[in-house]
Chain A
Amino acid sequence: MEVKNNGLTKGLLTLVLIVAVFFCILFGINSYTAPIIEWNDNAALLAPLFKLLPDAPGFELLYDYTVPDNSSLANIPSTVRYIHAIAENGGYAVQLSTTEGFTGDPIDLSFAVDPDGKILNAQVDAYADTKDMGVDDYPLTYIGQDSALSDVSIVAGVTYSSSAFKRAIADGFLALTENGLVAEGYKDPVQALTEVLPLVFPGIANNAGVVQAEETQPTGALLSSAMKSTIDTGMAYFAGEGDDLYLITVNAFGVVKAYDTKGRDITDSAPAEALEQAKADAEASAADFLKKDTRAFKKLTGDDMELTELSLNTFNSVTGAYKLLSGGNTYYGFTSRTFGFGDMAIVTRYVLDENGAIVKMNADELILEKDYFSNYTLDEASYKEGFQGLTESTFTGDETLITGATMTSNAVKSAVRDIFEAFHDLKENGGI
């Protein structure tokens, strides 16, 4: 029995010893391999960054969009995926992804800045759009730029994707400057106001946010430059001088507003004379759509229709607002001009009842891409009927979808959203 017990004890002790020895060995090896394994695990994430900056000693993760609460950084735009600090350099590397390109597929990009906020390098990591914006060369035009991005232009013919790229870079800079990581670059007033314009006057910009306007010579002495919307949604002017430069916008109804370089509404404090000059200049160059709209709305509501012009304070794509009396009923007609394929105008008209529900919808021409879609057919009557009864709360955007005609679909979607906004504006300002 004693021998047996000795054997049992010996065996157990041996097992315990084996466990203890391997525990110590594994502890030691883990101390050595854990940092290497962690580095390897991050390698896939850091590979684009090492391609961006091959000589970088390393990167430290500051922000991960999958776990934003783990970061001390705040107010990060949704396009920003990761922010890294560049080891021993004091600079930062940002990885982003945007879906605002032409096809809506993700465009992944990254850029690095030095401690002064100047771009060291930029690159496209993934690009699925059909038109090549110059994925190897275009990002290099950003090198040396600061957050102002003043010397960077959009690629002609690939405006959606290149402007999506530029906006993404701007988002990256916003994340860095908002958190005090780099200083904001100097943006001259003209550039600042040019960037403010599509934000305060969406009707003058296409779906990519790029202003579509022709430069004209303003008549007012206080106005330094003028831009006329290519689809007649209104006018924009620069007034003032130097750092006091400000923006004046005039919509299709002659309503005037003024904004400073930060996009703040300064209509009440802007010089009244400048606003009057802008209004007069806009009225002189405005296109007259009244006759055409009257004919179009009579077709929609009836020959007995009586039309009264209304005014809107909105600065979107709506260029005509009318009160329509037909058959004893009161309706509201809206004309919208939005940017379709090739930034050409898509003109749509809507008749709404007093509750804001769409009664009728019509368009001058829906498919502008006929040359590119020769086998394309659209049952226009059925498509237009699909808008009947829609209200702001029931409209999802899917009703505007035309298979294979994305630009047109998006243009009509913008138009419908704008006419609902216009209807709201009428209700708020006593037009209804």
Chain B
Amino acid sequence: MTEHKSLRAFAAENPALILVLGICPLYASTVDVRAAFAMGCLVLAALLVSGLIMALLKRCIPQQFTLPAAFLVCAGVVSVFELLFHAWFPDIYKILGVYVSALSVNLLLVAAAADSCEQKAEKAIGQALLLGFIFLASLLAVAVIREVFGNASFAGIEIPSLKDYRINVLLQPGGALLIGAFLAAALNAVAAKALSSDSFSGWFGSSFPNAEKEEESES
């Protein structure tokens, strides 16, 4: 069941490719593997910190203020990371550009932060790590395909044998959507084989892998 939970989290409920949440960085930063890795790490760090803060503040935030608080916390956390990123990694920051600031209103971050308000700190951290790594993996998957086949390079290192076979459309936003669609289809195929059909009821409108809720439903 634990294996199914992880697989379900990655395949059937992949926030970037299946649930299509917070996909701006997915398509904006995946032209280069280095930029995708940087963006993924940034999202992971922002998820962790904002999730932890919201979990620690859960007693102070009435339910009707969860979303505004989540927005404020996400905006603050992303701003802090943005300043540090700009100072320490100026080259990558240049590549990512405005999409770093756009993370402040990223649906994935805000939703995860809001969700963390209803959980214990440990669970919030666990959820953030899981989401963050899944998002990072998704970004890297798209970035590798786009850069290798679109630009005949990997992390800035040229691949001479592919130089004449570049598929330029993969470097365009449309190409990113295309890759995302194919990966989503592949994930669906994997999930369909490995999981029962009942497990797919959580597809549309599903919240994130929430261990407490699942345990309640199982019992």
Chain A residues with a Cβ under 8 A of chain B: 7-8, 10-12, 14-15, 17-19, 21-22, 25-26, 29-30, 32-33, 36-37, 40-41, 43
Contact = CB atoms under 8 A, between A and B. Distances in A.
A36 B87 contact: yes
B84 interface: yes
Contacts of A41: 90
16 contacts: A7-B62, A10-B60, A12-B65, A15-B65, A15-B68, A15-B72, A18-B73, A19-B72, A22-B72, A22-B73, A22-B80, A29-B83, A30-B83, A33-B83, A33-B84, A33-B86
Given A11-B62, A11-B65, A29-B83, A18 B90 contact: no
Nearest to B53: A18
Contact of B90 (A7, A12, A21, A40): A40
B83 A18 contact: no
Contacts of B73: 18, 22
Nearest to A19: B72
Q: For this complex, into which size category does the number of interface residues on chain B fall?
A: 20 to 34
A418 to B, nearest CB: 51
A14 B79 CA distance: 19
B183 interface: no
Contacts of B57: 14, 18
B45 interface: no
A31 to B, nearest CB: 10
Contact of B64 (A11, A22, A33, A43): A11
A358 B8 CA distance: 88
B79 A26 contact: yes
Contact of A26 (B62, B68, B80): B80
A11 B76 contact: no
Given A14-B65, A33-B86, A36-B88, 16 more contacts: A14-B57, A15-B68, A15-B72, A17-B60, A18-B69, A18-B76, A19-B72, A22-B72, A22-B79, A25-B80, A26-B83, A29-B84, A32-B87, A33-B87, A37-B86, A40-B90
Interface in B130-175: none
A300 to B, nearest CB: 60
Contacts of B75: 22
A15 B83 contact: no
A385 B51 CA distance: 81
B61 interface: yes
Interface in B27-86: 57, 60-62, 64-65, 68-69, 72-73, 75-76, 79-80, 83-84, 86
B68 to A, nearest CB: 6
A34 B69 CA distance: 27
A10 B86 CA distance: 35
A411 to B, nearest CB: 45
Contacts of B86: 33, 37, 40
